[in-house]
A and B are shown apart, each in its own frame.
Chain A
Amino acid sequence: MSAIEVRGLRRSYGQREVLHGLDFDVEPGEVFALLGPNGAGKTTTVEILEGYRERDGGRVTVLGEDPGVAGTGFRARIGIVLQSSAVYPSLTVSETLELFAGYYPRPRDPGEVVRLVGLEEERDARVRILSGGQLRRLDLGLALVGDPELLFLDEPTTGFDPAARRRAWDTILGLRELGKTVLLTTHYMEEAQRLADRLAILRDGRLVATGTPQELLSANGTVEIRFRRGGEDVVLRTDEPTRVLHELTREALAAGDELDELEVRRPTLEDVYLELTREEGT
């Protein structure tokens, strides 16, 4: 059975429909990334799966339950990092982790979680003096302290400096080693590529692509040939780069021209993502 099963998920805010029927599955033990620009519907989707928001249509099953009606037993099996949230500023890091550990039937040792998210130095510091990155790590610690089967991470590294982002990636990869299922949202392609077994790209409330990073590349893997001619950039896209390049160079040789700045490249996942999420008409 899939950890998450979404069929025909719809949601409107007033007159505006923001999710137009999503379908996807997340398998147990996999890291699944939901990717898309701001406003594409990532947070709405995740908050429906977490049980915070109601849906207007479709079927959603998370760990075998409907999150719209599931109770405390369901919440004991999931861990949540919200895009923005807070904890009590007057508690210390340890106190906060111990408080949350107490909410769960089978928590992890809070001291171990402090080490896991790299907050040993700040163990006895009040939450109010933590930096943004440290708060985010505490947030991740709170999501882990209940020892959940499934973790929702909504933009877990937004606002991180590159070093902190790399540390967070290591932590998330460590979760996969532990056999956890992870659904994460991000607008960084590099993050999805690094962490995700499979990913889905969301644009304007519709999934425009789903698959492994490799599948997405080969499905959209047209080769690009660029050069300059008469002061203008020329870009050719083709599935037969050998033939096209051969003809191009033969003509140039015959005419005694040089193909300035000739370049042949395969698109990166970043290119595929930008292509798929490009607004109509731009």
Chain B
Amino acid sequence: MRLLAHELRNQQRLFWRSRESAVFTFAMPLALLGLLGAVYGDREIDGVDGASYLLAGMLGYGIVATAFAGLAIHLVIRRESGVLKRVRGTPLPAAAYLAAVILSTLLVIALQTGAQLLIGRFAIGADLSVAGGGFAVAVLLGTLSFAALGLALTAAVRSGEGSSAVVTAVYLPMVFVSGAFFSVERLPGFLEAIAGVLPLTYLLEFLRGSLVDGEGIGSAWTPIGVLLLWAALGIAVALRTFRWEPRSA
């Protein structure tokens, strides 16, 4: 526990010292919410007010950007530069290191969620009906599933320089297709079929249900099941493929 707390403090310090993470993964979704909310907040999207629709969308986008993209990019850079190998040579258990990385991500997302809710409620006037328990489970489960998938993704990226490009190519299309920015009912058939299996689609459904319609866990078994399946897949792949040593060496 002492080691975990020690490493968690370090991971937090590293996150906030990195301009890329502080600006692009933390501030960007907040800025987008304010911006898009100002433009589309008054319209109705998919039967709910635009501000609420966008708030749920940007919460999902923030979770993917931080827990999936940011986590994968940072771990690939650390692996390729040799930081992970160096850490692996100390008595810090591998599980404690990864747990600290994930907990640190969760902390960032908790802060971001708070900020998003404030902007959504007071800046762009989202009309919310929150089911607190369901919403908390949605954020937690979404973060853990995408963190597991982010760990799995690191094995597919070979170089530190390329990590940002590869990871963005995976997650940005998903963000659009799953409907974080606009309604997916206007998608062509094949894209809608893809959207029908993507984890973000279900996370957004879960977030909207618990945030806008006041639905508890009881009416969210489908998204919970799908997110758990993706999490299990991510963990299974990560356990087999996660590496501590540079691939390019």
Contacts and interface: CB of A to CB of B under 8 A. Distances in A.
Interface of A: 50-52, 72-73, 75-76, 78, 80, 82, 84-88, 90-91, 95, 99-100, 102-105, 142, 146
A90 B92 contact: no
B3 interface: yes
Contacts of A105: 91
B82 A75 contact: no
A86 B89 contact: no
B81 interface: yes
Contacts of A80: 86, 89
B93 interface: yes
B91 A82 contact: no
Given A82-B82, A85-B82, A90-B17, A50 B89 contact: yes
A146 B92 CA distance: 12
- 8 shortest A-B CB distances, which residue pairs? A85-B82, A76-B91, A72-B91, A86-B81, A86-B82, A103-B90, A102-B6, A80-B89
B18 A82 contact: no
Nearest to A89: B81
Given A52-B245, A85-B82, A102-B3, A90 B89 contact: no
B14 interface: yes
A72 B92 contact: yes
* Chain B: interface size category: 20 to 34
B202 to A, nearest CB: 35
Contacts of A88: 14, 78, 83
11 contacts: A50-B89, A73-B91, A75-B89, A76-B91, A80-B89, A82-B82, A87-B83, A102-B6, A103-B91, A105-B91, A142-B86
A85 B84 CA distance: 9
Interface of B: 3, 6, 10, 13-14, 17-18, 78, 81-83, 85-86, 88-93, 245, 249
A91 B10 CA distance: 9
B7 to A, nearest CB: 8
A80 B91 CA distance: 12
A258 B86 CA distance: 63
B14 A90 contact: yes
Contact of B89 (A73, A82, A91, A95): A82
Given A88-B14, A102-B6, A103-B3, A52 B90 contact: no
Given A75-B91, A76-B91, A87 B3 contact: no
Nearest to A105: B91
Contacts of B86: 80, 82, 85-87, 142
Given A52-B85, A52-B245, A84-B82, A90 B91 contact: no
Contact of A85 (B13, B14, B85): B85
Nearest to B81: A86
A105 B92 CA distance: 10
